[in-house]
Amino acid sequence: MERLPGFRDFYPEPLPPTKDELWSMDARNHVFSAWRSVARRYGFREYDGPPLEPLELYTNKSGEEIVGQLFNFEDKGGRLVALRPEMTPTLARMAAAHEHAYKKPLKWFSVPQLFRYEKQQKGRKREHFQFNADIVGESDPAADAELIALLIDSLRALGLGEQDFVVRLSSRGAWQQFVERRAIPPEKAYGFFQIVDKLERERPAVTTQKLAELGVTLAELESFISSGEPTPELRAILDNLAARGLAAFVRLDYRVIRGLAYYTGPVFEAFDIKGEFRAIAGGGRYDQLLKQVSGGKVDLPALGFGMGDVVLTELLKSRGLIPRFTAGLRAYVLIEDETLRRESLAVVQRLRDAGVAVDYPLTPTKSDKQFKRALELAAASTVRLERGDDGTVQSRVKDLTTRTEWIVGRDEVLACLKAEAV
Name which position in 19, 21, 78, 103 contacts a copy of itself (CB under 8 A). 103
Using CB under 8 A, which residues numbered 29 to 48 contact a copy of itself? 29, 37-38, 40-43, 45-48
Alpha carbon distance 122, 167 (integer Å): 23
Identity of the residue, 176 or 240, whose beta carbon is nearer to a copy of itself in the bound complex: 240
- Under the binding rule (CB under 8 A), the answer on residue 183 touching a copy of itself is no
In the complex, least distance from residue 233 CB atom to a copy of itself, rounded to whole angstroms: 13
Looking only at the bridges linking them, the beta strands covering 165-171 and 250-252 are parallel
- List the alpha helices (DSSP H) in 304-403: 309-318, 341-353, 367-376
Identity of the residue, 199 or 380, whose beta carbon is nearer to a copy of itself in the bound complex: 380
Identity of the residue, 363 or 402, whose beta carbon is nearer to a copy of itself in the bound complex: 363
Alpha carbon distance 247, 137 (integer Å): 26
In the complex, least distance from residue 292 CB atom to a copy of itself, rounded to whole angstroms: 10
Using CB under 8 A, which residues numbered 358 to 417 contact a copy of itself? 358-359, 362-363, 373, 376-377
Name which position in 19, 78, 100, 205 contacts a copy of itself (CB under 8 A). 100
How many Cβ atoms sit within 10 Å of the Cβ of residue 239? 13
Q: With CB under 8 A, what is the number of residues at the site for a copy of itself? A: 100
Which of 256-270 are b and which e, b meaning 16 or more Cβ less than 10 Å from the residue's Cβ?
A: bbbbbbbbbbbbbbb
Identity of the residue, 328 or 409, whose beta carbon is nearer to a copy of itself in the bound complex: 328
Taking alpha carbons only, the member of 61, 81, 84 closest to residue 73 is 81
Using CB under 8 A, which residues numbered 307 to 336 contact a copy of itself? 327-329
Q: Which stretch binds a copy of itself (CB under 8 A): 8-16, 160-168, 181-189, 384-392?
A: 8-16
Identity of the residue, 357 or 393, whose beta carbon is nearer to a copy of itself in the bound complex: 357
Q: Please say whether the beta carbons of 410 and 397 come within 8 A.
A: no
Taking alpha carbons only, the member of 191, 193, 159, 163 closest to residue 175 is 193
Identity of the residue, 146 or 272, whose beta carbon is nearer to a copy of itself in the bound complex: 146
x/- letters, 112..141, toward a copy of itself (CB under 8 A): -x-x-x---------x----------x-x-
Identity of the residue, 256 or 312, whose beta carbon is nearer to a copy of itself in the bound complex: 312
Q: Please say whether the beta carbons of 398 and 405 come within 8 A.
A: yes
Taking alpha carbons only, the member of 307, 264, 350 closest to residue 133 is 307
Angle at the Cα of 35 (from 33 to 39), degrees rounded to 5?
115
Identity of the residue, 353 or 368, whose beta carbon is nearer to a copy of itself in the bound complex: 353
Alpha carbon distance 241, 419 (integer Å): 45
Identity of the residue, 209 or 349, whose beta carbon is nearer to a copy of itself in the bound complex: 349
How many Cβ atoms sit within 10 Å of the Cβ of residue 251? 12
Indicate the residue type of 347: V
Q: State phi, psi for 346 to the nearest 5 degrees.
A: -65, -40
Taking alpha carbons only, the member of 244, 275, 241, 41 closest to residue 154 is 41
Name which position in 270, 311, 348, 383 contacts a copy of itself (CB under 8 A). 348
Alpha carbon distance 47, 277 (integer Å): 29
Identity of the residue, 53 or 420, whose beta carbon is nearer to a copy of itself in the bound complex: 53
For the chain, state the CA radius of gyration: 28
x/- letters, 290..309, toward a copy of itself (CB under 8 A): ---xxx--------------
- Under the binding rule (CB under 8 A), the answer on residue 258 touching a copy of itself is no
Identity of the residue, 76 or 203, whose beta carbon is nearer to a copy of itself in the bound complex: 76
In the complex, least distance from residue 383 CB atom to a copy of itself, rounded to whole angstroms: 14
Phi-psi region of 43 (alpha: psi -120 to 50; beta: other; left: phi over 0): left
Q: Which helix (H) or strand (E) holds 261?
A: none
Name which position in 206, 345, 407, 419 contacts a copy of itself (CB under 8 A). 345
Name which position in 53, 164, 233, 269 contacts a copy of itself (CB under 8 A). 53
Q: Which stretch binds a copy of itself (CB under 8 A): 79-87, 158-166, 214-222, 309-317?
A: 79-87
Q: Which stretch binds a copy of itself (CB under 8 A): 184-192, 252-260, 264-272, 356-364?
A: 356-364
Alpha carbon distance 312, 249 (integer Å): 16
Q: How far is CA 92 from CA 141, 257, 324, in A?
A: 20, 21, 38
- Under the binding rule (CB under 8 A), the answer on residue 275 touching a copy of itself is no
Name which position in 212, 219, 243, 407 contacts a copy of itself (CB under 8 A). 243
